[in-house]
Amino acid sequence: MSRPVTLFTGQWGDLPILELADKCSRWGYDGLELSCSGDHFDVAKAINEATYCQKHKELLAGKNLSVWAISNHAVGQMVLDPNDHRSDAWVPKELAGDAEGKSAWAVEEMKRTAKAARLFGVDVVNGFTGSSIWRYIYPWPPLGPDDIKKGYDLFAEKWGPIFDEFNANGVRFALEVHPSEIAFDLYSARMALDAVGNHPAFGFNFDPSHLLWQMVDPVQFIREFPDRIFHVHVKDAATMLDGRAGILSSHLPFGDPRRGWDFRSPGRGEVNFEEIIRALNQIGYQGPLSVEWEDSGMDREHGAAEAVRFVRELDFPPSSISFEAALASRGK
């Protein structure tokens, strides 16, 4: 049985959910990975309005769409982020400019997200964690011997109770491993797991694009954490290392041809999705393949329609019998 193909709605927040659902249904998606923003999915309404979750599911079912996961990236980021002016628009107005207040609010909002997910009937919430130590990615001025450890200790202090709440609601949190997060490659992901004692509610939203441009092999990530791949994003990237820019991208915006790397529509970059599907088959992953569409050089509707066809053609089930066994059954 093929895995469901969904579209992450985070990059489509300018469209009302009904309009986006209609488009996704026509393009051929099986469902949506709903972002907790706008009218795509409202955490407060899910908790406080008795009919909200059922009506929201019925709205999507009317377009033959289902939901396997919701995502709350912006709120999760604020738990550990330094929380400067860039996140002021993500919180209640009275918290704008209050870094500690934003973090405290985000902790409680993530706990509420776990409850909202349970009420909506999904068992995975994707998102970010933020990081208090991302600014130390290049250690200058020099770091003390415990500076990185303190960052992971703070992650455990802030996120441990959130994971407990997720666990109590039968929901798992899937961190999208990503620069600016507490985990951005294999080694930092292992440190994050160790910091929270391999908490059962904590795992990963596997997104190969963020690994590729860092020159990390995405397949190695799947094989390193086979029991922690809770969700999968299908997103592509390409490197353009021409000797002028590196992977830090020179403070240039996405879409600028001078960058050292950029995102691409699935199948149009350098990610080896063939090997990723084989690795997912090997670990028994049967969850959705969720298109996170980001390509500054392509019309997004063209790209989203093309992407669902690409993923359907790409996905294949594992073999139920080895070719050696099939030959042996014929006798010699």
pLDDT tier for residue 321 given thresholds of 50, 70 and 90: confident
The residues, ordered by sequence, that sit 6+ positions from 229 with a Cβ below 8 Å of its Cβ are 203, 204, 206, 222, 280, 283, 285
Q: What is the pLDDT of residues 115-130, one digit of tens each?
A: 999 999 999 999 999 9
Which residue type is seen at 39?
D
Written as six digits, the tokens of 271 are 């990610």
- Whether residue 73 is predicted with pLDDT greater than 90 in this model: the reply is yes
pLDDT tier for residue 94 given thresholds of 50, 70 and 90: very high
Q: What is the pLDDT of residue 221?
A: 98
User: Does residue 141 have a cis bond before it (omega within 30 degrees)?
Assistant: yes
Query: The domain that contains 202 carries what CATH number?
Result: 3.20.20.150
- Number of neighbours of residue 282 by Cβ within 10 angstroms: 13
Tell me which residue has tokens 């996905």.
Answer: 315
The residues, ordered by sequence, that sit 6+ positions from 98 with a Cβ below 8 Å of its Cβ are none
Q: What is the pLDDT of residue 25?
A: 98
Q: What is the pLDDT of residues 29-50, one digit of tens each?
A: 999 999 999 999 999 999 999 9
- Whether residue 332 is predicted with pLDDT greater than 60 in this model: the reply is no
Give, in degrees to the nearest 5, the angle at Cα 317 between 314 and 323: 115
Q: What is the pLDDT of residue 173?
A: 99
Distance CA 182, CA 165 (A): 20
Q: What is the pLDDT of residues 149-176, one digit of tens each?
A: 999 999 999 999 999 999 999 999 999 9
- Whether residue 243 is predicted with pLDDT greater than 90 in this model: the reply is yes
Distance CA 86, CA 19 (A): 28
- Whether residue 194 is predicted with pLDDT greater than 60 in this model: the reply is yes
The residues, ordered by sequence, that sit 6+ positions from 145 with a Cβ below 8 Å of its Cβ are none
Q: What is the pLDDT of residues 269-290, one digit of tens each?
A: 999 999 999 999 999 999 999 9
Report CA 325 to chain centroid distance, whole Å. Answer: 39
Tell me which residue has tokens 């300018």.
Answer: 14
Residue-number span of the structural domain to which 89 is assigned: 5-328
In this structure, of 78-82, 144-148, 192-196, 325-329, the range with the lowest mean pLDDT score is: 325-329
Antiparallel, parallel or unpaired: β 236-239 and 261-264: antiparallel
Could you give the number of structural domains in the chain? 1
- Whether residue 3 is predicted with pLDDT greater than 90 in this model: the reply is yes
- Whether residue 315 is predicted with pLDDT greater than 70 in this model: the reply is yes
Q: What share of the chain is helix, strand, coil (3-state, %, to 5)?
A: 45, 15, 40
- Whether residue 241 is predicted with pLDDT greater than 90 in this model: the reply is yes
Backbone angles phi, psi at 230, to 5 degrees: -90, -20
Q: In the predicted model, what is the mean pLDDT of residues 58-63?
A: 98
